[in-house]
């Protein structure tokens, strides 16, 4: 097994660590698997690369939308929040 050093911006690295955690694997293993799939897959056509980029973009947007707490579902509207406030007992 050889060692590889790569430079990745902090935001991408954090997102990749989260993805590896969700897949119950290490970041090293995930990167190694990806490099192996590219190396053994041979040349890929532009359409395939474009599809992969689009899928990765979609996954990244999902992670961004989930935020730190995960998927929160439908957030309440401002009117719903204020309506809830008026029901609280005043102290």
Query: Does pLDDT of 14 surpass 80?
Result: yes
Query: Does pLDDT of 91 surpass 60?
Result: no
What pLDDT does 68 receive? 66
Distance CA 85, CA 74 (A): 19
For residue 25, what are its two tokens?
């694997």
Distance CA 45, CA 15 (A): 27
Average pLDDT, the chain: 79
Query: Does pLDDT of 85 surpass 80?
Result: no
pLDDT in tens, 22-44: 888 888 888 888 887 777 776 66
Q: Find tokens 């690369």 and name the residue.
A: 49
What pLDDT does 70 receive? 63
pTM here?
0.44
């Amino acid at each position: 097994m050889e060692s590889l050093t790569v430079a990745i911006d902090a935001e991408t690295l954090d997102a990749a660590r989260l993805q590896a955690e969700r897949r119950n694997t290490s970041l090293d293993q995930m990167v190694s698997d990806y490099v192996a799939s590219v190396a053994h897959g041979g040349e890929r056509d532009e359409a395939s690369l474009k599809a992969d980029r689009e899928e990765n973009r979609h996954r990244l947007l999902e992670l961004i939308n989930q935020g730190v707490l995960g998927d929160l579902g439908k957030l309440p509207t401002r009117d719903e929040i204020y309506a809830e406030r008026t029901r609280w007992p005043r102290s």
